[in-house]
Structure 1
């Protein structure tokens, strides 16, 4: 029996050690090849340098002319350039004079082809100046993950790490295979007891070596705990030796011990292993009873342990694991098994989980600090209220007023937290994030008080909050997540648009209008953030996105609720309000987008005046009697704002202003002439009168604005 067990272990560990040895040998061979290649390159460069220097010396020596006593040109290359240079520069040597009476010859010309060829050769041999190093691109999240996995496998005690991973699988497979084949004629209880005793001995040995051989000890501790968890699983699920309660209690004890060892040894790896095992234990040890109270009670204890570890260690990955498993399993249970009669036994756990993950960002910010202040975990900060509120909406199942009260309660809670943290210098970012959530939920409570189908609009505000957080911490992933949330909000609102158009809906105070308004405001906020960061192109895209939702929301609301005869007049009022708001923003913070929005709002009044005349005979019919005066006041204020900012668009806006009112009054005069059957002369006089007033104003003072 023991011989068979030892033989099986040898067969299992042999390939492991062989793979490890091959891995180490491959790494050493690669390092040796790199060193040999580098040595060859150094030898080649050392050999090329003297040759390059000699070629350069000969080339420059050949370019020096040699004086001769005869009027002929000497194209011969000097054999000894150093000696010739000494002879030319020595003052004691007499200069030879020609023996003939002819005029002195000009100095000889060098052989330029030979000189240039030598120079080219020398320049070719001279090593070029190294180019300025190009900054490497930032690695993606996938590359970072792969690199960390490779680093984990390639650093530290590699044989132990690989051995522990394979051993967990090997022990389980060996036990099942040996049992099926009948190799070990020993009761299963003794088999499991022997494996457990071996794992406990390994755990004790690893604990003794935790200081002298840290990497080896941590890997062995994790492997021993894993083997004990497998033994508990096999005893319950495969061999039915113990009940579900005993197996679960034994697993909880092991996981708690693993967490304690992780904190005492400051080992994040052990903490991650314990967290994963803790969340998976109810799944692999489930007896099928479907007791959600027991499940959520266990997860409450587990999250309390995560909170305790977060109090002592700033391990963000641990918080994210707990966040993902808790809300993921809770959401899956709610979708598959929730019923209204379970509300009383489910709501307390939802509040507890929300409290846990509301406190975790505070602990993380308190422990994990940077030179600029505390670090913020945006996933927990914005994701916790988002998911909890969505689950709360599912538990209430369409009850509008309770959900609106929940939104108000969240707004009050986050407002209090923001007020408590705003005075602390290290907590400024966290306080600002809480303030954004308070404003978002307070805004969301308005449509929820009327309808519970506008929960998708919270994604837009959360997206804007994540973009802001990404700007503050220079985190690209947070900004992209914020943009994706805003797109998801728009998609969700578009999908639910058919359900929002109910007969009893109230104009403006309905979930459709408020949801689109929140998406527009989130787009404007994102545009402002990107503009402050200097990304003008991205800011322009988001400003256009927000403006599209703003105008589309307003025009759609007018088309749904306004009387048909007043639709065009209210459209005019919407354009006037949009132009005025954009001009006010432009006055405080000059930007091209708001200035062009003001110009467009004034310009759209011209076709609206003609459309009103075609459908209602004149612009001032029905609601036009008051919308046009209101538009005039708004437009005048818009021109004043543009003038105060010194924008170049102010001149064009003023031109449109001067063209608009004579046009509108001329259309009114045409209608008056038609109603009272005036003669053509009177009609033409009435048509020309507004333009004559415009001309007189231009002569007196054109730019009076």
Structure 2
């Protein structure tokens, strides 16, 4: 009201301003009209006084209007019929006389003037701003149209608003609430009667008005009870029930679903808005029972599904909220009958709904109520039995589930005797099986329940596939999930298992895994590979989980044998998958074998961390013996199947064994006192060097058991082996590599011999296989650079072992290291220079020259800092002598031999 009064006041204050604007605008228009009339009179006087101009010639017309208008004047439009004369005769003919121009078209001749230059875009006037536009709009409203009427309506509006404000201030509109509510109710009843009389002539309008009128009456009852306290709660509730019942009757009589929905919503909400907070659940549920009985009655005549769903949602939804907030075990006796009654209601409604459907559509069932009602009711039943005498005994709830299973089995049997109820029959049969299954975990332990559920789920999946029905298949999947949940629920009692393997937990998990594998087998046989894969992965997860749980529970902690046990289990799993694949090929089984063999890599590292090397510990050697035997058998099974991943499995196999052997050999120097670090690194590389040498020179040993079909993996295997060796080689460049108890000798120590072996094998691998001269040159350069790095490493190691310099980051900066590198690099450069010149190998000569240039730059930039000692001086002298030798032996590069023959 305050906002309305403020608006009215604003309009009243603006009225004088608007009137002034209007009067100014009108006076301005009158002045402009007078000026225009005066100008028109002056133009007329000038026109009468001016002499009539002569008629322009054709040339003038053409000059004024262009050649098109001149041609129209010269030549009349051709007449249809005869062929026009030739162009020459047409030009010689005398043109017809030009008709005189009417006086109203005469105008004084104006001299031709050039067109004015076009204004640039920036010089054009800009668009007016918002304020100017708004002011012009207001001015136009007051100057265009019926201005007096517009102004009069504004003034009238201001007057009425002022009158209403004055009446409100004087209290003219204050009435008792009884009279106001009675007036509103009378208007609503009148609208309801009017809408009833118009129900046939204007159905949509009548139904809408009826719903609105009943809604207004309900609001009147609510206001009389809740706001003004003019009505007791009993009378308000009775009137609300009467209005709701009346709306329902009107809906049924007029076949108006929307009106029925409105009545139902109002009926369920009435106890909420009329609540006094007494918490009388018996009265509440009694009222809801009456409403649900009405819904059942309507369902007897009408198949209004939305009405059934709303009743179900409100009944059980409000019941659930009440149970969560206000239920106590002592209220069980007064609540249980209502729950049973509501369940019966919504057990009957789907039957009535199906009965009302045509015979051809009775497969269309109300699935929300068919499945939702028993599940929600049973959940509420379980909630009612929480606490009290039912807390420690689950058998009553198990008997409830069994009773529901019997009830639905009886309904399914009864409906099978009637036609066209197949869908409802199957649904009730499924519910019967489900509740009978549910009775199992309620009566038995969780782990036993898991076993029963898993086997039953696999059987249902098989039955659904055999009958080509999706419902048993979904039920089977659900039961297997339920089995997993049941087993996980019993996690607290897992610690009481006293015997490995032969305990309820492992057996339950094993049965879940077997059920998953069986379902995978069934679906694969049916040609549904995607579902088979899901079931297989499910079973494999439970198979692995059960084993890992047993290892964690029963292996002695002092053994640190978890990795050993997992290695044996992985080999066993891979072998079983390979055996099954040999009989029933499947890619998932090959992947299982491949992953099982590859798991030996991280497990070997785990074993080393646990007990220093993979073959140590109580089970280490036994684990690798099992892996060896079952791995070979798995590869033989894959060879027989000729699967494309068989080569990958053997590839992994030949990477596992050098790793395990290198970890074992690298552990030996720690067991033998006095062996230096160089032995350890050499022994680490020895198995990889051996496998790489066999792959290069004895491929048949590596190819077994696949044989020739493993030849396609030769290149990949060599790349993997040399990648490992390259990483090892780079790491050893930064290791001191002591050769104790033997003295350290350059090149002839174990670590540098192993480094040299890697370089030789790499050269044997790549150089013979390169036929392209460019690729061969690249590899020659690469190997040369690697060899140069190795020689540099040998020099630095000699400085460390013979010169006594510490092996750290400051080694390279010492005078001894720099002088040694200068001498050795210079010798290498001279050899390359001289040999390249003598043998005519220009690239070798160029490499020697470049190396000598690098040494020279090193002398200038680095070695000059050490000229204060003999070593630095020796660097310069040695380089100078070598350059002198080169100048004597090979002063110029070798000539390029021409390949052209003499003429």
Q: TM-score, normalised by structure 2?
A: 0.39
Q: TM-score, normalised by structure 1?
A: 0.49
